[in-house]
Copies of this chain bind each other. A is one copy, B any other.
Amino acid sequence: MTATAAELLETPAVPEKELPVRDRAQTQGRIFQAGRALLAEGGFQAFGVNAVARKAGCDKQLIYRYFGGLDGLLDAIGEDLAGWVTQHVPEDQGGRFLLTYGDLMERLVELYADALRADPLMRRILVWELSESSPHIARMADARAKGIAQWIERMRGSLTPPKGADTVALNAVVIAAVQQLVLAAETSGSFVGLPLKSQKDWARAVAAVARMARAAYA
């Protein structure tokens, strides 16, 4: 694969109906984007050689030539998503001072929920991770875990968690809750009775998670 995922990303979406351009880089980019789009729209069920080729508007053979098959394409996409946390979850404090570890956790919840809600592709990947285990997936999950850890580390600044708190476990729980809520929202619009549609619903949900996190770190 002669191009990095970053370079592939520069392809400005899938051009409408451009006739064969005989430009390897661009075709590669179209395939890449088609793969991402399919994954984001229909999940891994919709991710197949034929489907990608159809969407990219080229012959499936090129997928094998340029990416070494579906797995290669998936790797390229995964590579790009490796830095997802640092790229999509901002580190600003939203103009607030984070005085306590609880403040930090609240902000973490807000930012992570927003980032996830804004990214269909990442959501699909997360669901995928729950459906099966494969090397690709394991790598992605690993990279994300590290990203989250680093992100917390940077946001934390000089704040320190209360002694005796199992930060690893507590952080995992908080992230888990947010993730499950966001994923469930997409397909069912609610979770065990808690509606998750409007912006207000989300404010309520996020407040609940934040309250718990804050209380646990008090």
Contacts and interface: CB of A to CB of B under 8 A. Distances in A.
Contacts of A213: 212
Interface string A157-173: 00000000010111111
A130 B44 CA distance: 12
B131 A188 contact: no
Contacts of A209: 173
Given A132-B43, A216-B215, A171 B192 contact: yes
Instruction: Give the copy number.
Output: 2
A28 interface: no
B192 A175 contact: yes
A131, A171, A188, A205 — most chain B CB neighbours (10 Å) = A131
Interface string A163-195: 000101111111111011101101110111110
A8 to B, nearest CB: 26
Contacts of A130: 127, 130, 183-184, 186-187
Nearest to A179: B180
